[in-house]
Amino acid sequence: MGPLGKRWVLLLIFLLFSGPVLAGPPEIPEIIKEDGVWYAGSGWRVDLDGLRVGFFKGTPLEMGIQNGLLMMDDPDEMYEKMQEMMPGAGAETRLERLEWFFKNLYARLQFFPAFLRHIPGEYVEEMQGFVLGASRGEDDDYSDILFSNAYQDLEIAACSAFAAWGEATVDGELYVGRNLDHGAMLELAETQYLGIYKPDEGYPFAVHNYPSFVGTMSGMNEPGLTLTSNYSMAKRSEITIDGLPYMLMMRHVLQNAATIEEALEIIKNTPRTIGLTLLLTDARTPEAVVVELTADRVQVREQENYIYAANRFLHPEMIEFQSTGWLASALREERFEELIRDKYWGQIDHIVSADIMRDRMPPGEQPPHSMGSGINNEVNLAAMVMVPARGEFWLSVVDESPIPFAADNHFVGVGVGEIWATGEPPRQSLGTLPATPREGYEKYWFKARRAVLLVGRGELEQAQELLQEVLAVYPEAEQALLLKGRLLVRQGQLEQGREYLERYVQLEVHSDPFYLLEGKFWLAVVYDQLDQRELAVEYYTRALQVEVEDLPEAEAGYRYFARRGQEQPLGLTPEGRVIIP
Amino acid sequence: MKKLLIGLICILCLGTAFMTVQAAEEPIIEEIIILGLTRTSEQMVQQQLPFAVGDRWHEEYRAWTLQRLRMTDKFSPAPLRVITDPLPTGGVRVTVRVSDPAVWYKDPIELVASSGISLIFGQVNLPLYNPGGLGQNFYLSGSWGSYQHLGLRITRPVGPGVLTLRGRHIDYQSPFYHEQGLKLAGDYKSWLHPNWRLEAGTEFWRGALDGGDMQILFPQLAAYSNDPLRGEVKMGLGIPLGDISPFFRVHSQVMGEYGPLIGLLRGGTVIGDEAPLNYLFHTGHFGLLPLRGQGLELTRDYLLTTVELHWQQGQLIPILFLDGGFYRPGGEGGVINIGAGLGVETPMGVIRLDLGWNPLRGTTAFNFGFGHSFQPPF
């Protein structure tokens, strides 16, 4: 090779390896505030009646940077919140911490490469952009962001959604109501925002989201589709972590599908991970379907004029793949039927839709003092109503309360259709829907539901006080009686606990059979501790006689223990957990 | 006689009609979706499928597809599934779920465990799973100690099967001979039926055996079955490219289970007096042709059986075993070895320690190994 040839080779090597260096780091735009609007490049952010609204435009990297700059006021605080949500964050002993260290290490070695193999490059770029924006250009390591976009696939959430159109609604237009219910995400509730995207490639879309999320759980797009997700526990053989995190699949659908058929094609051809029920609607036809899926199966449920989804499969071909676990799906489905079909038929608009998502009544609305959850519940961290035909997105505003009860806060309407068209920040919202007055029954409902969550967090004294307040006014509030009884048993006050549980079991009406099963079971356990074996066996038997429609496996949970309890006395740990001696 | 003939014809007609009705009940495959590929081409998976759009779905396709896909060793063990979804039209959608593993390894725990085990046994293995996305797996290997080697194996799915090419440089100091040289081999295998696999290939060995140069071409044919009998038959013709005469080697094994009792019957022979020592069989110890109460021996013909009683207790498996039969030379009068062992189930498979005793010779031997002595051949 002559000297000229060598030079060419050297030049080629230089070009090959110097590309990234010559390209340099991407430019981080300056944040400018003008007339109450924050601008960063082509993106902006505005606060409308307490709701943060962000607009992101351009390439994936550019949109990510804009998002990171505009929606991340305090990256350190956000990072801490994300760390608190990490599995194992609550580990107390050294051994537990060590165990979680290895589990998280394994997750990084096993899950991350698996997720990364399936994530389209454009979303990885957007994640990098987000980290660049949030760190103001100092960092681009997206590993934690990857986790925040994937951990939904490792958790269990609830959620409810419905769509109504045609004869069911006041004007025939399609309305979508949606509650995001996720106990592990409550810390994030106040950081929510409405993100409006105008990507260089694909359709403009709008999503309800939290900082660092590139994927989404709820959104709509310019052609008129909406898509929301509900978890549906699928059998172990039906799930995998080796796929595309579902929030990114949903984002992909919103950005690339214009019709229900196109959306279904994307969903069917995505390597999925877990069980979900997705509400997919098209405002133009109008029509809506519920897509029931696992990692490998997809079935589509259709209905005229209205449809809803809770956290279980209803398609006949999917029911057998439901895993055990109870999330009050039957009760919420029954309420959707009652509210849409019986109470609001022909009257549904965005205001009624918000009311439906605020529902706190048991089926039949009798008795009125159950203090149980309806469609609304204590892990509700976001509530929204979408009117895709008019390009309207109504989102509840969440304050700093650790238990947001989002659907009961005030809703703010945003005209996303106009923003897609102009790219300009709106000067005002479309209006607001007032928050639920916290008085009368509602006041005590909030107390009772807050007590449920506090018990889950181990704050027992506070929970006791709230329940006492509720029972003082509503002595037959079934949920308060049951919880109070269980709480006393957990604290070792067996006789007092028994008394409350007896009162609960002897009520004439029980709003959800699952709780009756639970009440009878705990009463049996109490009788076992009180050495009254005959009564214990009687209540184990009575617990097993309770039919719970939405409890899939006959031999799981309370039923399993009740059967064991029939055979031998069950014990209780000092923490109030049942043990089989 | 005439009545009998008519009766037979009627039975045949009824049988055929019944089978037709049965076939008509099978849904038509309207859609095939291959999910999860990130490197391997979809076409490569399609070639392994024993069905196509428009065919009727038969349940046996599920296991058949999985057998073929597993044989490619190209996909992670999970998720590897074949799912059928009924469609509103009455047809069926078949979803084949696969996952390309990371190029270097399949699972971090597996990597650490398998590397550790390999090192204990004086060897290293480096698999590269379809690194360029063109379909080839590369397996580099090396070992030290009495069996030294450097090897490269390349596999690639071709049609409904897998083509394998391998080359290995060996320096093996066996208790019976010293083998040095290069082995080149190629074979093609395919599950032609859900329960039958055929394999055809040839090996070329060029090297030295106890100092004498040799070149041997060794074409082989093998058949494996997993139902109704679980077993294999493998035969090869040795064609020396030198002075010695050709030889023929055949061996087979059949396995059966009855509750906690597991039995294995093995037989083999080498025909041809001049067959090189490194093409004969080894008996003794654990894992070759197990006679676990005695040491290694070279064997030309054998008929051996192994019976084991497994008493599974959680992850522990206490075992009683009996190895016995005939072999030649050395065991013409019959041989019997008895003993006990303990297996432990681990994520990497079973680890076993056996103590065997040959009551006729009065010898005992400890044997340590991975897997049972009745591992199915595939």
**Beta-carbon contacts of residue B131 (< 8 Å; ≥ 6 apart):** B103, B138
Token digits of residue A497: 């606990």
Asked if B298 contacts B307 with a C-beta cutoff of 8 angstroms, the reply is no
- A540-566 as b/e, with b when 16 or more CB fall inside 10 Å? bebbbebebebbbeeeebbbebbeebb
**Beta-carbon contacts of residue A443 (< 8 Å; ≥ 6 apart):** none
- Which CATH fold would you assign to the domain B30-138? Ubiquitin-like (UB roll) (3.10.20)
Of residues B125 and A111, which shows the higher confidence score?
Answer: B125
- Give the pLDDT confidence score for residue B18 in this predicted structure: 46
pLDDT at B71 over 80: yes
- Give the pLDDT confidence score for residue A151 in this predicted structure: 80
Which residue, chain included where needed, has tokens 């090597």? A13
- Give the pLDDT confidence score for residue B336 in this predicted structure: 94
Average pLDDT value for chain B: 88
A94: left (phi over 0), alpha (psi -120 to 50) or beta: alpha
Q: What is the pLDDT of residues A7-47, one digit of tens each?
A: 666 666 555 555 444 556 788 999 999 999 999 999 999 99
- Give the pLDDT confidence score for residue B19 in this predicted structure: 47
- Give the pLDDT confidence score for residue B221 in this predicted structure: 98
Q: Are strands B363-370 and B349-358 parallel, antiparallel or unpaired?
A: antiparallel
Sheet holding A193-199, edge to edge: A31-34, A37-40, A43-48, A51-58, A193-199, A205-209, A218-221, A225-231, A276-282, A287-293, A298-302
Q: What is the pLDDT of residues A145-198, one digit of tens each?
A: 888 888 888 777 789 999 999 999 999 999 999 999 988 888 888 899 999 999
Indicate the range of B84-88, B111-115, B370-374 predicted with least confidence.
B370-374
For residue A268, the chain B residues in CB contact (below 8 A) are 33
Closest CA–CA distance from residue B198 to any residue of chain A (Å): 31
Q: What percent of chain B has pLDDT over 90?
A: 64
Task: Determine the 3-state secondary structure of A338 from DSSP.
Answer: helix
Q: How far is Cα A26 from Cα A61, in angstroms, rounded to an integer? A: 9
Closest CA–CA distance from residue B87 to any residue of chain A (Å): 8
Of residues A454 and B165, which shows the higher confidence score?
Answer: B165
Of residues A470 and A156, which shows the higher confidence score?
Answer: A470
Q: How many CA atoms lie within 13 A of A438 on its CB side?
A: 12
| CA distance to A101, A179, A304, per residue, from A339 (Å) | 47, 16, 16
Q: How far is Cα A415 from Cα B48, in angstroms, rounded to an integer? A: 52
Residue A548 phi/psi, 5-degree rounding, is: -120, 110
Q: How far is Cα A330 from Cα A336, in angstroms, rounded to an integer? A: 10
pLDDT at B229 over 90: no
A568 part of contact set with chain B, CB < 8 Å: no
pLDDT at A209 over 70: yes
Q: Are strands A175-181 and A380-387 parallel, antiparallel or unpaired?
A: antiparallel
Of residues B120 and A175, which shows the higher confidence score?
Answer: A175
- Give the pLDDT confidence score for residue A256 in this predicted structure: 98
Which A residues 301-320 touch B at CB under 8 Å? 317
ipTM: 0.84
The contact set of B with A (CB < 8 A) is 33, 35-36, 38, 76, 78-79, 81, 83, 85-86, 95, 97, 99-100, 102, 107-109
pLDDT category at B9 given cuts 50, 70, 90 is: low
Q: How far is Cα A42 from Cα A56, in angstroms, rounded to an integer? A: 7
- For an interface test with B, the pick among A103, A116, A117 (most B C-beta atoms closer than 10 Å) comes out as A117
Which residue, chain included where needed, has tokens 């309770």? A546
Q: Does 1.10.3720.10 match the CATH number of domain B174-370?
A: no
pLDDT category at A378 given cuts 50, 70, 90 is: confident
Please calculate the CA angle A199-A430-A359 and round it to the nearest 5 degrees.
Answer: 100
For residue A243, the chain B residues in CB contact (below 8 A) are 35-36, 79
pLDDT at A107 over 50: yes
A295 part of contact set with chain B, CB < 8 Å: yes
Q: How far is Cα A328 from Cα A322, in angstroms, rounded to an integer? A: 14
Residue of B nearest to A241 (CA): B79
pLDDT category at B11 given cuts 50, 70, 90 is: low
> Taking Cα atoms as reference points, which of A162, A46, A152, A155 lies closest to residue A407?
A162
3-state class percentages of chain B: helix first, strand second, coil last, to nearest 5: 15, 55, 30
Beta bridge partners, A227, equal A219, A280
pLDDT category at B378 given cuts 50, 70, 90 is: very low
Asked if B68 contacts B160 with a C-beta cutoff of 8 angstroms, the reply is yes
Q: What is the pLDDT of residues B284-326, one digit of tens each?
A: 876 578 888 888 899 999 999 999 999 988 889 999 999 999 9
Region A409-414: what's the mean pLDDT?
97
Of residues A130 and B23, which shows the higher confidence score?
Answer: A130
pLDDT at A435 over 50: yes
pLDDT category at A5 given cuts 50, 70, 90 is: low
Asked if B66 contacts B4 with a C-beta cutoff of 8 angstroms, the reply is no
| CA distance to A149, B176, B285, B287, per residue, from B148 (Å) | 49, 16, 21, 20
Asked if B125 contacts B114 with a C-beta cutoff of 8 angstroms, the reply is yes
pTM recorded for the entire structure:
0.86
Token digits of residue A36: 């109450």
Which residue, chain included where needed, has tokens 């539901």? A449
For residue A297, the chain B residues in CB contact (below 8 A) are 83, 85, 95
Task: Determine the 3-state secondary structure of A548 from DSSP.
Answer: coil
- Give the pLDDT confidence score for residue A193 in this predicted structure: 96
Please calculate the CA angle A153-A159-A165 and round it to the nearest 5 degrees.
Answer: 125
For residue A114, the chain B residues in CB contact (below 8 A) are 99
DSSP annotation of A179 reads E
Task: Determine the 3-state secondary structure of B290 from DSSP.
Answer: coil
Region B57-85: what's the mean pLDDT?
94
**Beta-carbon contacts of residue A328 (< 8 Å; ≥ 6 apart):** A158, A310, A373, A377, A512, A514, A550
- For an interface test with A, the pick among B83, B100, B105 (most A C-beta atoms closer than 10 Å) comes out as B83
Q: What percent of chain A has pLDDT over 70?
A: 92
Residue of B nearest to A297 (CA): B85
Asked if A284 contacts A389 with a C-beta cutoff of 8 angstroms, the reply is yes
Residue B194 phi/psi, 5-degree rounding, is: -55, -25
pLDDT at B23 over 60: no
Q: What is the pLDDT of residues A519-571, one digit of tens each?
A: 999 999 999 999 999 999 999 999 999 998 888 766 678 999 999 999 999 99
pLDDT category at A85 given cuts 50, 70, 90 is: low
pLDDT at B21 over 50: no
Q: What is the pLDDT of residues B169-195, one digit of tens each?
A: 999 998 899 999 999 999 999 999 999
- Give the pLDDT confidence score for residue A119 in this predicted structure: 95
Q: What is the pLDDT of residues A317-342, one digit of tens each?
A: 999 999 877 788 999 999 999 999 99
Token digits of residue A435: 């928050």
Region A50-71: what's the mean pLDDT?
96
Asked if B239 contacts B246 with a C-beta cutoff of 8 angstroms, the reply is yes
Domain boundaries, given as residue ranges, for chain B = 30-138, 174-370
Asked if A361 contacts A436 with a C-beta cutoff of 8 angstroms, the reply is no
pLDDT category at B198 given cuts 50, 70, 90 is: very high
Whether B35 and A242 lie within 8 Å, measured CB to CB: no
Within 10 angstroms of residue A513's Cβ, the number of other Cβ atoms is 16
Q: How many CA atoms lie within 13 A of A497 on its CB side?
A: 23
